[in-house]
Amino acid sequence: MNSAENYIPILFQAGVAIGFVLISILGAHYLGPRLKGTNKDKNFECGIENEGNARTPFSVKYFLTAILFVLFDIEIVFFYPYAVNFREFGLEGFVAVLMFVGVFFLGFFYVLKRGALDWDK
């Protein structure tokens, strides 16, 4: 089997995905509602009327916490293959996971030292 033939299923899947996206976007554009107006164009936030300017500065603490949660959550996902194949890795795998956990805790303590999880600031 030629090495170029190995990529045919990948190209087919990419073509189907791109085609689906294009059909969805065009279908939404041409088949979707076309209502416009001042009431329709206002932003809606859970039934609460907007007040003030949207450009006022605010604390970025929430977003930093969300990014840290995603970061640490993704690192936890890497523990799953280790847990499944624990006995096959042996001592070398155990040392590798200890290094991984060490880097994980270094990052965690760095975040704590910088005060990223302190909500009172």
Domains defined along the chain, listed by start: 3-114 (1.20.58)
Length of the chain: 121
State how far Cα 78 lies from the chain centre: 15
pTM here is 0.44
Q: How does pLDDT run across 17-53, given as a tens digit for each residue?
A: 999 999 999 999 999 887 777 776 676 666 666 677 7
* Encoded tokens for 34: 């076309």
Nearest to 49 by CA among 36, 39, 37: 39
